Amino acid sequence: NAGVMQNPRHLVRRRGQEARLRCSPMKGHSHVYWYRQLPEEGLKFMVYLQKENIIDESGMPKERFSAEFPKEGPSILRIQQVVRGDSAAYFCASSKSSYGISGNTIYFGEGSWLTVV
């Protein structure tokens, strides 16, 4: 769990500002996933990326949200013009395998808590 690094852990933004959340996967992992947890809800899949490619963005809101995972550096989840409803915990996970998911192959980071005021 500690191997997936997310920063910042806490971020406060005013409405209309941009939020950037970073995720460094575990060493040797080239697959990154972003999940969002709204208050009192479960985690919801947002996007799955491999290096330089977005594989599945079916859970991403159509506007204001984007994600990237460049060849070098961390994966970034970018939220433009934040609104109060974006306040949530954003979790990154990483895996080594490209085939399916198992409990022993996907690892979550400790999350980034975004508060929009």
Partner 1 sequence: DQQVKQNSPSLSVQEGRISILNCDYTNSMFDYFLWYKKYPAEGPTFLISISSIKDKNEDGRFTVFLNKSAKHLSLHIVPSQPGDSAVYFCAASIQGAQKLVFGQGTRLTINP
**CB of residue 81 to partner 1, shortest distance in Å:** 26
- Please identify which residue in 33, 60, 75, 116 interacts with partner 1, judged by CB under 8 A: 33
Binding to partner 1 by residue 90, rule CB under 8 A?
no
- Calculate the alpha carbon distances from 6 to 12, 16, 21, 57, 69 in Å: 15, 23, 7, 20, 14
Query: By the 8 A CB rule, do 108 and 32 touch?
Result: no
Chain positions contacting partner 1, by CB under 8 A:
1, 4, 31, 33, 35, 40-45, 48, 55-56, 59, 91, 93, 98-104, 106-111, 113
